[in-house]
Structure formats: C-alpha cells, structure tokens
Structure 1
C-alpha cells in the first residue's frame, strides 16, 4: 500500500511509476494517488506527457489522448458541445465499437453516457449528475449555509449483468465517486486493476477532462482527483493489438528520462 500525492497528473504518474519500479515484482496493492490540480500542466508536465506519449505510440500502444477519450470524449465535447455529447454521440460510439476489433474501446465513455435503470429504461448518468450538481450549487448559493454539506453521488461503471462472467477484459475502472464541496467538483475513482505504463497517465488526463466538463457546465471549479488502484502494475504492454510491448528496461529508461525533465527544471530554478 502506498499514498502518492502531488500537484499535477504527470508528476503523480512519475512518482507512482517510480514506486512500482522500486518493488521486486513491479506491482503493488492499494496504491492511492492524489492529484491536487488534475487539469493543470506546467511546461515540464507537458514535456513528460509528450515523452510518455511518444514512447507508447512508438511501441504500438494507444497514445495518451486516445486512452483519455475512452473515459470522456473531449473531442466530441469541443466539436458539438453538451447537446451533441448527450444526444447522438453515444449511438455513434456504439457503431465505432462494433466496427473495431477491440470492441471494448470507449466502453467507459458509453457507460457514463448510457445505462439502464432497474426497469430497463435507458438513461444518461452524466446528464443526471450534471442536473444534480447544478441544483446543489443553487441551493447553497440561495441559502448561504457556509461551507455546507458536500453533495455526494456516484456513477457505477462495473455492470454485473455483462461483466460478471469475464476473467479478463472487463472494465478496469469500476467506480467513480463525485463530490461537490466549497465550489469544487472532486473525483474519487477506483480501479480493480491498473496498468501504470500503458494506461495510467491517459486515465488521469481523461478523468481530469471529465471533471472539467462537470465543473465548467455547472459554473464550478475543478477540485482534486483521487485514484485508488486496488492492484497496480508497471506493465510491459499486452503484446497484442493496441496494448503495445516493451521491456522492463525500456520502461525504466522512460521513467529515468521523465525524472531528468523535472530535475533539470528544479536545478534551473
């Protein structure tokens, strides 16, 4: 178990990767990551982001943006706004999934935008979440209750109806808890299994974009992001499809290059 705290997603990614790299099997249980500013990037953060992105793409894996889009389709949000995101996009995403060999691509985004209730009726969890956040904000603003009680809600990602029979290949992101407090949207995400080279930084970017969406649309600020990796692994890729492949030595070299980026900045300061 390890708690890793930092200001930005790339900085926390690097510290987490270094933690796993220092362990005998390069894996650990219950690694807690806390990012104070998940949507803020310094110049050094951007360089680390680009270093990791180039590494993933050159080794046959999805780049950071592609991984982030599986959580929140920021491209679609920029292109068509909230109406496009809530309206036709989920059906477009389903069509994309059917056409791809890796049919699970984008399943997080789809589950955040489309689920069935107990009666089998389709609803949009993210849309209802935004409505509740807006109502909570108006309530506090109207009644001036000081700090007030935080609004709490959750989006369940794991679906036992479709996922219970899978030994592998199910959603690694299983649960997303959202809280609004002191004018900030706070996230807590739970991963049942987490690949720290090919997925983690993209996951952090995607979750930060989802936070930004809710905060921006509700007129609030982006708060901290906490991630609970119940099992974390410094992976070497899947060796197939878009998972890429690299050696442990190559992963370590990537980590070392990223640390040099931050160290040079610290020395210059």
Structure 2
C-alpha cells in the first residue's frame, strides 16, 4: 500500500503525473501524492484546469471549482474569520445543498460535526477548534505539539454501512512545524477512493485552499500537501477512450518528466 509518486511542485502537475500513471498501469492502491506548493500554478496549468472543466461539463459532471468548493467554499470567504465563514456557509448549505438522505459536504462536516447525544445536542466546529489550538501554540500561550490537530470526515455512525453515496475523503491531519522563527503548516489527507477525472483535481485545489485559509488564520506559513488514495482509478462511468484523450491533451502542454 506504499505507492508514492515523485514529489510535484503544484496540484495540477501532481494530478497530470498520477493520471498518466493510471492511464498506463490501471487502478492503484495506496497512491501517494506530495505537493510542494499546494496553492501554486505553473505556466499553462490554468489551461489544463479549463480542459478538465470542459470535459466534465460536456459529460454533465460537476466542474472542478464545484468539487473544490465542497472542501473549501472560497467564494464565501470574506477574510473575516472562521466563525463568520461558518455562519455564511451553513446558511447556504441549509438553503441550497442539504438534501434528506445525502451524506452532506466535506466543509459542512468540518464545521458542523454532530456532538452526539441525540437530536438537539449541537455540533462541533472542527476547523474553529483546530485554528484556536494552532493560534495558541503560535503565540506561545500553549505548549507546541505537532500531532494534535486533526479533522475527521468519516463517521462510522453515518457511513460505515453504506456502499454508495458516502464520503471519499476520510481524514485530514494538520502538521505544524517550527524551525527557529519559521512556523510552517502542512497537511495530509487520506481518501478511501478516488475517481481521478471527476474528483481528484478539484480535491487537490480545494485542499490547497483550505490549508491556505488555516495558515492565514493562525499565522503559519503554508507548507506541503500530501494525499494518499487507498484506491485510485480512472472513472468507470466514463468512456475509457475519451479519458485517455483528455489525459494525453493535458499531459502535452506540461512537459512534465515522469
């Protein structure tokens, strides 16, 4: 299950390299991507995102930005902190996104995790709690720990018995580091399953934005992003030949070495 790709400079380059691997070798288990600049874009990579977007729209699938927004709703961030962002998001979620029987959205689980104890027990804002912890460590108000900031997405009570219509992102670990006067925050995310055309590129972009938000809120520099897909594949509900053409088209302009 240890199946690492060569570290990549940006989310788009990581996606292109991994998609190329899946095209050549088929499904992968334990596929691990390591991204050195989780919010970066190299020249030409905007065009790759547009190509993937056009493909998804042509096939009536969610576009890259929609997938990214399930992890971090960038359009709702006004720079006024996690509590204000949570309030705006939950208003939109309840009005437009919440459907009976659905598992929810990733960001919703981050900011409104059920507190247990039945109906009316309230929720836990995991992002707010982690931001508070990181701020306290950064300011010196609390002892530094590099292993206590986590975000749960998989919920056994809601997800374990489901075979379909459930989350794919299971867990996020936030890893603060300090080296002298430099405080850096990295992220690791674990996916149980990854459809590489419909989901992965948007997931990588969304995770980078989430990491940037948390780093900004806590006074850390942004570090690296690592994701592990315990199963990764090219989407079985799309035509394989069309997927191969898309990957070839995206691979050409990047000039990336394997």
Q: TM-score range by the shorter chain?
A: 0.7 to 0.9
Question: Of residues 135, 151, 167 in structure 2, which corresponds to 1:171?
Answer: 167
Instruction: Indicate the residue corresponding to 1:247 in structure 2.
Output: 239
Question: Matched residues in 2 for 1:115 and 1:6: separation?
Answer: 33
Instruction: Indicate the residue corresponding to 2:12 in structure 1.
Output: 10
- Give the conservation status (yes or no) of the 8 Å contact 2:110–2:127: yes
Return the TM-score normalized by structure 1. 0.84
- Structure 2 portions without partners, runs of 5+: none
Instruction: Indicate the residue corresponding to 2:46 in structure 1.
Output: 46
Q: Does 1:75 align with 2:75?
A: yes
Instruction: Indicate the residue corresponding to 1:240 in structure 2.
Output: none
Question: Matched residues in 2 for 1:31 and 1:17: separation?
Answer: 11
Secondary structure in 1 matching 2:71: coil
Question: Matched residues in 1 for 2:252 and 2:166: separation?
Answer: 36
- Give the conservation status (yes or no) of the 8 Å contact 1:8–1:45: no
CA-to-aligned-CA distance 1:171-204 (integer Å, 9 cap, x gap): 0001111111131211110101111111000000
- Give the conservation status (yes or no) of the 8 Å contact 1:194–1:229: yes
Instruction: Indicate the residue corresponding to 1:122 in structure 2.
Output: 123
Structure 2 vs 1, CA of residues 79 and 130 (structure 1 numbering), >3 Å: closer, same or farther?
closer
Task: Quote the offset at 1:87 in angstroms.
Answer: 2.2
Instruction: Indicate the residue corresponding to 2:59 in structure 1.
Output: 59
Instruction: Indicate the residue corresponding to 1:242 in structure 2.
Output: none
CA-to-aligned-CA distance 1:57-96 (integer Å, 9 cap, x gap): 1221111100000111111113875443122422431332
Secondary structure in 2 matching 1:184: strand
- Give the conservation status (yes or no) of the 8 Å contact 2:113–2:123: yes
Question: Of residues 19, 22, 39 in structure 1, which corresponds to 2:21?
Answer: 19
Question: Matched residues in 2 for 1:160 and 1:71: separation?
Answer: 20
Secondary structure in 2 matching 1:38: coil
Structure 2 vs 1, CA of residues 11 and 217 (structure 1 numbering), >3 Å: closer, same or farther?
same
- Give the conservation status (yes or no) of the 8 Å contact 1:152–1:180: no
- Give the conservation status (yes or no) of the 8 Å contact 2:83–2:128: no
Task: Quote the offset at 1:219 in angstroms.
Answer: 1.8
Task: Quote the offset at 1:34 in angstroms.
Answer: 0.6
Task: Quote the offset at 1:9 in angstroms.
Answer: 0.4
Instruction: Indicate the residue corresponding to 1:206 in structure 2.
Output: 206
Instruction: Indicate the residue corresponding to 1:110 in structure 2.
Output: 108
> Alpha carbon RMSD of aligned pairs, Å?
2.4
- Give the conservation status (yes or no) of the 8 Å contact 2:32–2:226: yes
Task: Quote the offset at 1:249 in angstroms.
Answer: 1.0
Instruction: Indicate the residue corresponding to 1:227 in structure 2.
Output: 227
Instruction: Indicate the residue corresponding to 2:184 in structure 1.
Output: 184
Structure 2 vs 1, CA of residues 193 and 82 (structure 1 numbering), >3 Å: closer, same or farther?
same
